[in-house]
Amino acid sequence: MGWAQPAKLAQQYYQNGEYEKAASLYEQLYQANERNPYYFDRYVDCLIYLEQYDDADKVISRQLRKDPENVNLYVTAGRLYERQMKDDEAKKQYEAAIDNLPANQYTITRLANAFLSQTKYDLAIKTYEKGAELLKDEQVFAYNLGDLYRRKGDIPKMIENYLSSMDANPDLVNNLKVIFQRYLTDEDYRELQAQLYQRIQDNDRNLNNNELLTWVFIQRKDYRNALRQVKALDRRLRENGGRIFRLGEVAADDGDYDAAIDAFDYIVEEKPTSTFYIDAKREGLRNRRNRLVEGYSYTEADLRELESQYASFLEEFGKSRATASIILEMAELEALYINDLDKATSLLQSMIELPGVDPITLAWGKINLADYYLMQDEIWESTLLYSQVDKDFKEDLLGHEARFRNAKLSYYNGDFQWAQAQFDVLKASTSKLIANDALDLSVFIMDNLGLDTTATAMEMYAQSELLVFQNRFDDAFRKLDSLLIEFPDHSLDDDVLYLKARIFRKQRNFEKTAELLQKIIDDYNEESIRTDNSLFQLAELYENQFDDKEKAKSLYETLFIDYSGSTFAVEARKRFRILRGDKVQ
């Protein structure tokens, strides 16, 4: 306790640059506390700052005679010589520190840290490598060496040492994943992959390497090779397919439906008694459906094949609350892709009557059934079901969704004022999608209602939208063409183009879709509320259908720069950055 005050005062002098006063105090402190290297180092620092080099040299030499095993004193001497520009002398001192290292882990670590504090990475590396030899343990300092090689930018050596540290301490694997994610480039991941392959060949008993290799493939979005690894691990460890199922989910979330389907099919075919069997079969179906409908490139035969797989699933597991979500999906397939509305409504009616169905699945069943009734012009049945869900989920997003669809039904029917009142309420929905759609429709009604005293043009347009919803595309085209003839140069002209583009997109005529979207962008520009939507959809077409990433990037950039207030601006900026190759979280 007696030295606390002088130590505090010495520190104050040192920080203020009053090195003579500090030196006097630190000399007393280190002589009274010879086991505390901090006071000694500070005393020598003061002498160096005062350029009292001979005194510093004598103090270090005297201390070395007293404590010859304290190899850090050689580093202090080296610093003194470096300050005097005697680089060769300094180098000899640093080498002497390493040459005199004892086989003591604490001393080795302390010397390496002394070099590290002076950013002398090569000397710190040399210290650890010599220390590993002395302790006859190649892995004891592997993690420290990994850190040092990382600081040096020597990625292959960094990876080699980090992997060696994991051999000694398997619990480090998650820590290493964080480091690799932070510091490795795509090229570096290839190096990590190569080193892991080599380690697996040399020692196939260390399963950590296989697990880390799987992780590398996932980082590189190479789900095929990741699946190969997890299948091998599953067989070797005689597991029940759990890790394969999880990988399938990751691949599915990332849109690699082929890899996901392979993963789920493996469980179905190889693990019929697994607890994951029914989930794998269900997810396999979902991913087949997603692959089909998101790819836009299916044939009638593809749809029928998928339909038979859904039917086969329901035949195997029956219709119950456990399979309600599959019934929901099959109904959607029938209604929106195979155009068999009778089958779709029959499926949903049977699902709604099942006992114990999850309330959310049941609500979606009612919403979708209402849609399919609307597609068959059964307006009363539709509004009844939408209203039921709205009432059951009043403050929930599901309720908002049902209310939005009910308001849209009124809009289709030409009851614009009531519809707009509902859209104005829904603009405050916590669902961004519902809020944005409600805002768009509210603005659309406001912009176009009242410009035409009879509201006939708006009614014709709303009826066209209903026809599109009902997949009656030829009728919709005829109605839109009639609108253009009866109301030339109407404010709805750009909306007519936009709706026609939507029809062509539904028909998978992407060239015609792009042509009309481009016309809106060129001819209407800022004056149209459809321009930002058109830009975004055109960018999506170039990115996904035409595989012209540069054009897509340019359109996304135009959108977030020229239309920064658009609801699409944030997403456009994100997609632009992904296409540019940025790492986006």
Chain segment 167-176, per-residue pLDDT in tens: 888 889 999 9
Residue linked to tokens 């190899």: 71
Q: Percent of the chain having pLDDT more than 70?
A: 98
In one letter, which amino acid is 163? L
Q: What angle do CA 26, 27, 33 make, to 5 degrees?
A: 80
Which pair of structure tokens corresponds to residue 537? 């959809």
Write out pLDDT tens, residues 352-396: 999 999 999 999 999 999 999 999 999 999 999 999 999 999 889
Q: How far apart are CA 73 and CA 59, in angstroms?
A: 10
For the chain, give every domain's residue range. 222-294, 302-309+318-392, 456-580
**Count of residues making up the chain:** 585
Residues 6+ apart with CB under 8 A from 107: 69, 71, 101
Q: How far apart are CA 52 and CA 56, in angstroms?
A: 6
Taking 70 as the threshold, does the pLDDT of residue 154 lie above it? yes
Confidence of residue 3 (pLDDT cuts 50, 70, 90): low
Q: Do 522 and 541 form a contact (C-beta atoms < 8 A)? A: no
Taking 80 as the threshold, does the pLDDT of residue 272 lie above it? yes
Q: How far apart are CA 335 and CA 295, in angstroms?
A: 18
Taking 50 as the threshold, does the pLDDT of residue 43 lie above it? yes
Burial 251-277 (b: 16+ CB within 10 A, else e): bbeeebbebbbbbbbbbbeebeebebb
For the beta carbon of residue 386, count every other beta carbon within 10 angstroms. Answer: 27
Query: Can you name the residues that pair with 452 across neighbouring β-strands?
Result: 449
pLDDT of residue 91: 92
Q: Tell me the mean pLDDT in the region 25-38.
A: 81
Global pTM value: 0.76
Taking 90 as the threshold, does the pLDDT of residue 413 lie above it? yes
Q: How far apart are CA 106 and CA 100, in angstroms?
A: 14
Residue linked to tokens 């997890």: 230
Which pair of structure tokens corresponds to residue 392? 């059951």
Judging by beta carbons within 10 Å of its beta carbon (0-12, 13-18, 19+), is residue 205 exposed, middle or buried?
exposed
> Would you say domain 302-309+318-392 falls under CATH 1.25.40?
yes
Q: How far apart are CA 233 and CA 226, in angstroms?
A: 11
Residue linked to tokens 């009616």: 349
Q: Percent of the chain having pLDDT more than 90?
A: 66
pLDDT of residue 452: 52
Which pair of structure tokens corresponds to residue 556? 């996304």
Arithmetic mean of pLDDT over the chain: 90
Write out pLDDT tens, residues 480-539: 999 999 999 888 999 999 999 999 999 989 999 999 999 999 998 777 788 999 999 999
First to last CA, the chain: 52
How is 503-526 classified by DSSP, letter by letter? HHHHTT-HHHHHHHHHHHHHHTGG
User: How far out from the chain centre does Cα 109 lie?
Assistant: 38
Nearest to 520 by CA among 506, 503, 501: 501
pLDDT of residue 584: 59
Q: Fold for domain 222-294?
A: 1.25.40
Q: Do 288 and 323 form a contact (C-beta atoms < 8 A)? A: no
Confidence of residue 180 (pLDDT cuts 50, 70, 90): very high
pLDDT of residue 2: 58
Cα dihedral value 145, 150, 151, 154, nearest 10: 100
Q: How far apart are CA 281 and CA 261, in angstroms?
A: 9
Confidence of residue 341 (pLDDT cuts 50, 70, 90): very high
For the beta carbon of residue 434, count every other beta carbon within 10 angstroms. Answer: 20
Write out pLDDT tens, residues 462-497: 999 999 999 999 999 999 999 999 999 888 999 999
Q: Do 441 and 419 form a contact (C-beta atoms < 8 A)? A: yes
Domain 456-580: CATH class, spelled out: mainly alpha
Query: Can you name the residues that pair with 449 across neighbouring β-strands?
Result: 452
For the beta carbon of residue 27, count every other beta carbon within 10 angstroms. Answer: 18
User: How far out from the chain centre does Cα 529 lie?
Assistant: 31
pLDDT of residue 1: 43
pLDDT of residue 182: 92
Write out pLDDT tens, residues 219-246: 999 999 999 999 999 998 999 999 999 9
Which pair of structure tokens corresponds to residue 289? 């459906």
For the beta carbon of residue 579, count every other beta carbon within 10 angstroms. Answer: 17
Taking 70 as the threshold, does the pLDDT of residue 296 lie above it? no
Q: Tell me the mean pLDDT in the region 309-336.
A: 95
Write out pLDDT tens, residues 76-124: 888 888 888 888 988 998 898 899 899 999 989 999 998 998 899 999 9
pLDDT of residue 450: 60
